[in-house]
Structure 1
Amino acid sequence: MPGPKDLDPSSSPRALLGAELRHAREKAGLSQEQLGQLLFASGSFIGQLEAGTRRIQPEHARVLDEVLGTGDFFQRNCKASAKSRYPEHFAEAAEAEAEATAIRMYAPMLIPGLLQTRAYARAVNRAYDPTAPEATIDEWVEGRMVRTRLLDHPTNPVLWAVLDEAALRRETGGRALMAEALCHLADLIRRNRVIVQVLPFSAGAHKAMDGSLKLMDFEDAPPLVYFEGPGTGRLEDDPATVARLRFTFELLTASALSPQKSLALIEALAQDYAHEEHP
């Protein structure tokens, strides 16, 4: 009997590969927990692979082929699922983001990627790498704009962001660009597409002072949390870690301005930037 065919990379390879993994696991008579033990991983991790919210890594593919008797199917096709327009440290998180039903995030220093305008994204990426060729910047910006299309859907995913006041006051790319960026943010809020709260300087010290965080919930897979630093990132599925950081986010929302007051501040700052007034 011939083995499975290679997957078509143009047809959502992660989702297809996950479906093949579920089929092979069930055919082998293994539960997610049992297969996870063979990979020294949790059953929830196997569930994330099958749902397409996590990527099958080469070291996992080799074991899967051995355990499930699939020849070299997963080893060959995990390469297709690994292709991404995003930096390596962020690629898996971006792919998971696209499958999420709800996203909760805290951004300490800049407007998050999903809420950025093209001009703001260009200014941020140029600041990340001042010597990068213009074609590289174009590619990075386009990748970020592709992510923002998640918000084209009227309701899904639910997006709740807490932005530090510093993210709004840090002049990125010039005052006219900031005015445009904040007007775009206000428009998303007024269209009831996102919930945004501003964490004001007056809130003082808080539980997330050491960095950003992003919590993602899914319909058919356990939640994930993503931490990010300069040029680094980590996706985590440990239930205790996710629960701890969900509590952190709840504390942030309790300390932040209400959505109504946050919108008023965002629009006031947009006016300040537009009229060249200093906040």
Structure 2
Amino acid sequence: MLKLASIYKVEEDEDKPLEAVPLTEDKTKKYEIQVSDRVGTINLLERMENVIMYSTGIQDYVPPKVRKLAVEIMKNHDLIKDILGEIRQKYQRQDKDFEISLDDVEEYKKYQILELFRKMSGIISGVRYNRENNTIKCSLTMTQKAQRFITGQYLEIAVEGVVNDILSEWAGSKGIPYKVYRNVKIESLNGTVKNEFDIVIVIRNKFYIVECKSGKNFDDWNRLSEIAVDYGILPQRMCLVYSYATEEDIQSIEYFCEYYICDTSSLRNKIIQMISFG
């Protein structure tokens, strides 16, 4: 388990004022976070006490080839979003044989789809394009790791990469310390998981949350808003990356829910906006 950035405990002494003291650097343990509103060292958790925060993403090694593939899928989401929806249904039915029609797809896009499928080695096998009936046939790898990646994890990995690139440029040039963590869990001391976040950004002890939704039918806008209120990060320190967000969705949700929302094409601009003004 990994301690998130500079986590502090509060020590009290009758003869001296409260001060923040760094916890031990032993990275083999989970860390208790004790938060005092009077000190306010942990902005994310200023309303909560006695919780454990740790990243499981640090243990999940992702090879460079897989990270690159995740970014390519994200960049081509508009091209293959309907296909990804069909793949999700195939996994739900445990049906590995896959055939898609390209009848309504422009000619140059057919080859883009075919090329992208051929890059998904380990997830998709036996990719064949049939010119006669204009279809692509292939087989899905029915492992949990392959299913998890292609049905949503690719977006988390790709967004993590984009966020790291932005912060390396933006914060690095200013000498501002930062950390980025993927798959962050917050637990009570008895081990009950209170919340899980896809990506947590830490800049100067300020926490920012990025949630990624790759499915087509997400509409739980109020739940995200309630979580953000609980952690004291509204307004402007939460961003939802929703692959199917329309411009109308974005305007309305940002106005009423007070967190950022973007599709994959506007991701970079929204992250820069969030860390600049949050």
* TM-score, length-scaled by structure 2: 0.28
* TM-score, length-scaled by structure 1: 0.28
**Structure with more of its chain in strand, by fraction:** 2
**Structure with more of its chain in helix, by fraction:** 1
